[in-house]
Amino acid sequence: MQGILLTRPEAGFNAAVTEIDPAQLPEGDVTVRVDYSTLNYKDGLAITNKSPVVRKWPMVPGIDLAGIVEASSHADFKPGDRVVLNGWGVGETHWGGLAQKARLKGDWLIALPAKFTTRQAMALGTAGYTAMLSVMRMEQFGVTKTQGEILVTGATGGVGSVAVAILAESGYTVVASTGKSGEADYLKALGAAEVIDRATLGAPGKPLQKERFAGVIDSVGSHTLVNACAQTRYGGVVAACGLAQGMDFPASVAPFILRGVTLAGIDSVMAPKALRVKAWNKLACNMVPAKLDAMTKEIGLSDAIRAAADLMLGVIRGRVVVNVNA
Instruction: Indicate whether 120 belongs to any domain.
Output: no
Do 187 and 234 sit in the same domain of this protein?
A: yes
d(CA 163, CA 157): 10
* Each residue's pLDDT tens digit, 262-274: 999 999 999 999 9
Instruction: Indicate whether 275 belongs to any domain.
Output: no
Q: Report yes or no: 101 and 22 within 8 Å, Cβ to Cβ.
A: yes
DSSP state of 113: P
* Each residue's pLDDT tens digit, 202-243: 999 999 999 999 999 999 999 999 999 999 999 999 999 999
Instruction: Indicate whether 11 belongs to any domain.
Output: yes
Do 225 and 135 sit in the same domain of this protein?
A: yes
Share of the chain above pLDDT 90, in %: 94
Instruction: Indicate whether 40 belongs to any domain.
Output: yes
| pLDDT of amino acid 280 | 97
Domain boundary among 218, 248, 265: 265
Do 145 and 103 sit in the same domain of this protein?
A: no
Instruction: Indicate whether 73 belongs to any domain.
Output: yes
Q: Which residues fall within 8 angstroms of residue 12, CB to CB, at 6 or more apart?
A: none
Residue 168 belongs to domain spanning: 127-265
* Each residue's pLDDT tens digit, 278-313: 999 999 999 999 999 999 999 999 999 999 999 999
Do 153 and 250 sit in the same domain of this protein?
A: yes
Instruction: Indicate whether 184 belongs to any domain.
Output: yes
**With bands split at pLDDT 50, 70 and 90, how would you rate the model's confidence at 175?**
very high
* Each residue's pLDDT tens digit, 28-38: 999 999 999 99
How many domains does one find in the chain? 2
Q: Which residues fall within 8 angstroms of residue 75, CB to CB, at 6 or more apart?
A: 106
**With bands split at pLDDT 50, 70 and 90, how would you rate the model's confidence at 10?**
confident
**With bands split at pLDDT 50, 70 and 90, how would you rate the model's confidence at 51?**
confident
What CATH number is attached to the domain comprising 172? 3.40.50.720
| pLDDT of amino acid 9 | 76
Q: Is the pLDDT of residue 133 over 80?
A: yes
Instruction: Indicate whether 80 belongs to any domain.
Output: yes
Cα dihedral 124, 127, 129, 135 sign: negative
